[in-house]
């Protein structure tokens, strides 16, 4: 089950923004929007020697409110 705090960009438009400047959430158009991290790739990137993250393309959350 996906975390109930994760929402789609369409659902975000129905939420209120915690910033007093905006009335409704802008979803992915906002700098505070975070896409959900699904997992890291199975192999490290040989150039950077780090794991590459794989993010959801359908669900995210407000980085100001938290998970």
Quick: pLDDT tens for 8-56: 999 999 999 988 887 889 999 999 999 998 888 788 877 887 888 889 9
Q: Is the pLDDT of residue 4 over 90?
A: no
Neighbouring CB atoms inside 10 A of 33's CB total 17
Tokens of 65: 């409110």
**Location of structure tokens 């590459």:** 52
Q: Is the pLDDT of residue 59 over 70?
A: yes
Provide the pLDDT for residue 66: 64
41: Cα separation from own chain's centroid: 18
Alpha helices in the chain (DSSP H): 9-12
Q: Is the pLDDT of residue 1 over 60?
A: no
């Amino acid at each position: 089950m996906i975390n109930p705090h994760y929402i789609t960009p369409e659902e975000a438009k129905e939420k209120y923004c915690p910033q007093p400047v905006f009335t409704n959430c802008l979803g992915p158009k906002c700098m505070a929007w975070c896409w959900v991290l699904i997992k890291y790739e199975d192999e490290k990137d040989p150039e950077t020697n780090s794991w590459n993250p794989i993010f959801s393309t359908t669900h995210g959350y407000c980085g100001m409110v938290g998970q």
